[in-house]
Chain A
Amino acid sequence: MSGPSRLAFVISAGAPAAALVLEQQWLWVLALVANAPLGVIARRRGGWISAWLVAQIAISALSGIHALLALGATLAGLAYWDLAAHYQRLEGTEQIFNYRSLVRSHNRSLMTALAMGSLMGGVAIGIPLQLSFVAAVFLDLLALAGIATLARRARSVSN
């Protein structure tokens, strides 16, 4: 496990765990503790890393910790998920050219994505907005339509 990857893992698991310990939500702490070995094993096995991320986001979202802390845990989880896959890809290849440049461009993209994510998430959490249920459904449907378009586009570009 590389340095940034380890840091992302510790933040993703440690920050919500600390908050939940302070709030004495022992069941959720137990869930986080149980999920942590999965993350370590998943780093080696590869296939389970997505399951770990799902569990991590679910715990952060449903445990009732502060929204900004949950956002931080999600961002760190996302970074860990990405870095684990990235290093697995590199380790599985016998021949790598322009290694430093490759890693640099990957890290740059990841940092951009995390910065954008934290900005968007922070704004969404920080600015309170009262919406009626119908308006929320409408906005959600709109977002889902956008994602569906994104998915279609994704399918068309990656043949």
Chain B
Amino acid sequence: MKRSSFLIFLIFVLMAAGLALRDGSIVALSLPLIAYLAVGLLQFPRSPKLDALAQLAQSSATEGATIEVNIRVDNSGAELDLIAIHDHVPVGLSVATGASSALGKLSEGRSYEFSYSVRSTRGLYRFENVEFSTSDPLALFRRIDRRPTARSLLVRPNLRRLRHVELQPYRTGVHAGLYRARRGGPGIEFHGVRPYMPGDARRWINWKISARHRETLFINEFEQERAVEIGIIVDTRSRSNIVADGRSSFSSSIQAAASLSDLFLAQANRVGVMLYGSHLDWTVPGYGRIQRERILRALARARVGHSQIFNRMKNLPTRLFPPQSQLIFISPVLKEDVAFLQILRARRYPILVVSPDRISAEAELLKTEPEIDLAVRLARLEQALITRSLAHVGIQRVVWDISQPLELAIEMQAARPRRWMRAVGARYP
């Protein structure tokens, strides 16, 4: 019950009791309460003239960073005996230092400025308005006003820099890049020999072979290195990401997507990202820093969700990806997704699957009991079966234990063995 309502109720009761008992002294007891109410009402500020200026020190940040928020309130009206200022902090951000609200007295023509900082988690946040609650000094009556101070804060996922990811694309672009194009031309890796053509550089003549063929000169040819068209598909379906107790492996998927897109764009590749889950969020492929920013924005907004339409992978619009372009599928991979990936592979899309290890994440939450251990072993067997089914059709899968760096998992499971290892018969894992 509001304080003013309580007092009015009390006055009413005292008056009624005084009348019922025909006792004037009981009625007289209500008079201090009436006086108290009257003082509050007379001192209540009728039309406060307040302005607010709110600023964020930066409009974008990376996950875990602290961002300072400055609030300035100007009073151009009469003196305010009791004013509470409150800046609504969006859900998902937490106040790190200072306080997002303040209480005090603001004289005529004066202003008050305060700041606090918020700790960020990945997402796109909007600070809508600053709220003022002005009251009389006795805090009996209250008036709430809001001043729109729209500010947005983009918190990008944390990037873990990767050095290189070995891909074997079928098709490469026209621009120079780092991936072997399976075509002869300028490059570093030896590709083959071909007859000398006028205009070829003399230093590439292979003298040993040319010596065996008196009529013709042969020159060394190298494998061209070209940029690749890469489509990154991030599985945002809740059924494949939720582990237990509302926790999910999703943040790891987002981190992997951010790190991989950052690497591929830095290597001058053309990268597009699709978030597939509650809806389709498609970032059209592009090059360079602007594309990197676009992708990071899309990843910052990404949320786990559920949709009847996108519940199964078969509704993924593959026509958005150019034929034979490289696909990176970031998902824990469910059993029923295997068939879809096999179909994609049959359409000649080279695919690399990066799977955050859900089993390890879930096992950490459970007690160590024989039944749990058995369940974990069975789940791992099922995952191994999925990996084998994918490998059967030439899809590489990297199972990433999220307690380890992604780079290590890629190095161990997807890297091409070094030349000397290949020479002694080492194969892809």
Contacts and interface: CB of A to CB of B under 8 A. Distances in A.
B366 interface: no
Contacts of A90: 103
A95 B114 contact: yes
B225 interface: no
Contacts of A117: 31-36
Interface of B: 1-6, 8, 10-12, 14-19, 22, 24-29, 31-41, 43-44, 46, 81-82, 84, 98-99, 101-107, 112, 114, 136-144
Contacts of A136: 19, 22
Nearest to A82: B138
Contacts, number: 172
Contacts of B8: 147, 150-151, 154
Given A85-B139, A129-B24, A157-B46, A121 B32 contact: yes
A101 B148 CA distance: 29
Nearest to B103: A93
6 contacts: A61-B29, A75-B32, A97-B104, A98-B104, A114-B35, A147-B34
Interface string A98-142: 110110011011101110111011001100010001001100100
B136 A154 contact: no
B141 A157 contact: yes
A102 B39 contact: no
Q: Is the interface of A mostly helix, strand, loop or mixed?
A: helix
Contacts of B34: 117, 120, 147
Size category, A interface: 35 or more
A61 B17 contact: yes
A109 B43 contact: yes
A93 B101 contact: yes
A15 to B, nearest CB: 14
A151 B5 CA distance: 7
Interface of A: 50, 53-54, 57, 60-61, 67, 70-71, 74-75, 78, 82, 85-86, 89-90, 93-99, 101-102, 105-106, 108-110, 112-114, 116-118, 120-121, 124-125, 129, 133, 136-137, 140, 143-144, 147, 150-151, 153-154, 157-159
Contact of A147 (B12, B99, B142): B12
Contact of B29 (A121, A129, A137, A159): A121
Contact of A137 (B17, B19, B141): B19
A136 B3 CA distance: 28
B103 A71 contact: no
B81 A105 contact: yes
Nearest to A72: B32
Contacts of B32: 71, 74-75, 78, 113-114, 116-118, 120-121
A120 B139 CA distance: 22
Contacts of B107: 98, 101
A78 B36 contact: yes
Contacts of A94: 99, 101-102
A85 B3 CA distance: 10
A121 B15 contact: no
Contact of B15 (A99, A133, A143, A150): A143
A16 to B, nearest CB: 12
Contacts of B141: 154, 157-158
Given A105-B137, A124-B28, A99 B22 contact: no
